[in-house]
Amino acid sequence: MFRLCARTVPLHLEKATVGFIGIGTINSAVCRGLLKSAAAPAKVVLGPRNAEKAAALAAEYPEKVTVAETNQEVVDASDWVVLGTPPKKHITQETLNELQFREKQPILSFIAGIEREDLERLVAPATDIVQALPLPPAEFAESTTVMYPPNERMEQCLAKVGRVVSVESREQAMAIGSMACIMGDFYAHLRACHEWLVSKGVDSTAASKAVGSYFSTYHHASQHSVVGFDHLVAEQTPGGVNQQVIEQLEKVGRYDMVKEGLETAFKRLCPKAVAEQRVRYHISFPRTSVAPVATVHEVKPAPVRKTPMESTMPFFAVPEGVANLERHLPSDGEESDGEEAHSQKRSIQAEC
């Protein structure tokens, strides 16, 4: 096996050999997006995992793409390494523990469910490490990718497959990454509009085209904003139909519910940050027939349990006591042990 022990890393992607360890949906999309870009990598080396997808890429770009026999060969042949193993801790550890990275080798990780400290240990002595969350539209240079920490070289690379949001901390990255968790809600919103049009007798094909086109138009007006979106809401005609719809949805709490959904996503994506920011005290009331006296208890941050996941969300971990919270709390139809049970329920909710 030929080992490159010392290599100067090219600054420009078009002069670099980029290796991909793991060639699932995200890595495949990013690889294709980079190869389609005006400044494509000089060479791409793919790991042997998911042989069918790797072979398809090699067939599409025979002059650029080769498939290595081992992941170590990918590391040895590459200036930059992109990690995209499945989001399961044991697979990540088994895959990366066996590899020898180089000290100045840039590492771009798309791995879900891995803590920064674990990643640093697994790719040592490499220290130039960026974690990012691209999306499948990267294949068409239409991804929105959040990354951290800021890294000009990696940002230039990811900018070839879409827009990049670079932030300083994992907490910020996960807050922004929560936006990816309302992708399904966005499509469900479109579905509701489509179903309404069909209910009015509009042909399904025409309704699909209309809904998709209108939302594309709205996106055009908003995609480059750097000052929020109040101005777009404010420019709706006073007393007009748009304003009427906004007011009706506000009355039923639609926009507050969006924020609640995002908060739920953030708690799952970044439980450590939630534990650190959480109010560290809760109040419980002893059962008594007279006015209760509040007792203050200090709340210890919930221990974090890394949990395998099947989604493409990054850096995922579930705190103990949150994953099975609903199972342990009495439902509205169940009997509870009076005020003590309600107090316990309030305490758990306060902690989570």
| 173 falls within a domain | no
CA distance 34 to 44: 10
Residues of the chain with pLDDT > 70, as a percent, come to 74
| 120 falls within a domain | yes
Closest CA to 273 of 186, 143, 167: 167
Q: What is the pLDDT at residue 273?
A: 65
Q: Do 99 and 242 fall into the same domain?
A: no
Q: Do 292 and 239 fall into the same domain?
A: no
Q: Do 129 and 68 fall into the same domain?
A: yes
Residue 272 host element (H or E): helix 271-277
Helix, strand or coil, per DSSP, at residue 141? coil
Is the predicted pLDDT of residue 140 greater than 80, yes or no? yes
| 262 falls within a domain | no
Write down which residue in 202, 234, 257 finishes a domain.
Answer: 257
Write down which residue in 204, 229, 257 finishes a domain.
Answer: 257
Q: Do 286 and 193 fall into the same domain?
A: no
Q: What is the pLDDT at residue 276?
A: 61
Average pLDDT over residues 211-230: 91
Q: Do 219 and 323 fall into the same domain?
A: no
Write down which residue in 230, 257, 284 finishes a domain.
Answer: 257
Which range of residues forms the domain containing residue 211? 181-257
Q: Do 222 and 107 fall into the same domain?
A: no
Q: Do 78 and 27 fall into the same domain?
A: yes
| 283 falls within a domain | yes
Cα 247 to Cα 45, 219, 242, 256, 304, distances in angstroms = 54, 21, 9, 13, 41
| Phi and psi angles of residue 164, each rounded to the nearest 5 degrees, phi first | -120, 135
| 1 falls within a domain | no
208-212, 291-295, 309-313, 338-342: range with highest mean pLDDT: 208-212
Domains contained in the chain, number:
3
43 and 68 Cβ atoms separated by less than 8 Å: no
Q: Do 154 and 283 fall into the same domain?
A: no
Q: Do 251 and 308 fall into the same domain?
A: no
Q: Do 19 and 152 fall into the same domain?
A: yes
Q: Do 248 and 276 fall into the same domain?
A: no
| 265 falls within a domain | no
Average pLDDT over residues 84-95: 86
71 and 99 Cβ atoms separated by less than 8 Å: yes
Is the predicted pLDDT of residue 311 greater than 60, yes or no? no
Find the CATH number of the domain harbouring 68.
3.40.50.720
Q: Do 40 and 119 fall into the same domain?
A: yes
Give the predicted TM-score (pTM) of the model: 0.65
| 304 falls within a domain | yes
Q: What is the pLDDT at residue 351?
A: 36
| 226 falls within a domain | yes
340 and 346 Cβ atoms separated by less than 8 Å: no
Q: Between 87 and 61, where is the model more confident? A: 61
